[in-house]
Amino acid sequence: MKREELSAGATPDAIVERVTMGEVQLPGQDRGHGHGGGMESVREATYRGHHIVVRTTYRLEVDGMPVEGHMGVTNDGQVHYHAVPNLSFASAIDLMKQLIDIFPEDFGAGGHTHEHGQGS
């Protein structure tokens, strides 16, 4: 990817447009790394000579609609999302709340409450 493509794809307007369209990767980026069905995060560590691999798959939805993109989790449990690359969150729920706050027009007015015993 050329620097100009990266710069053009990283503007706030371009990011909002891609999120609205359900397309959160930058122009020219390879689509073949797991977008669509769910987001897999892989974390690895070595402990006392043992190689540990933790694979977690996330399927994110807001009001029954899937939220696609690339999300990752660090070894200390912080969640990050490529549409907001400079932020990390304590949980996927906190991430989704922030996306709704940053891009309210992408999630429609009102919405439904699906708390299932969780805090709001």
Between CA 85 and CA 7 the distance in angstroms is: 14
Q: Considering the chain, what is the average pLDDT of its residues?
A: 75
- Cβ neighbours around 69 below 10 Å, total: 19
pLDDT score for 33: 40
Confidence of residue 46 (pLDDT cuts 50, 70, 90): very high
Q: What's 69's DSSP letter?
A: S
Total tally of structural domains belonging to the chain: 1
Q: Is residue 63 part of a domain?
A: yes
pTM over 0.85: no
* Within-domain flag for 69: yes
Q: Given this model, what pLDDT does residue 30 score?
A: 40
Containing structural domain, residue 20 = 3-106
115 domain-assigned: no
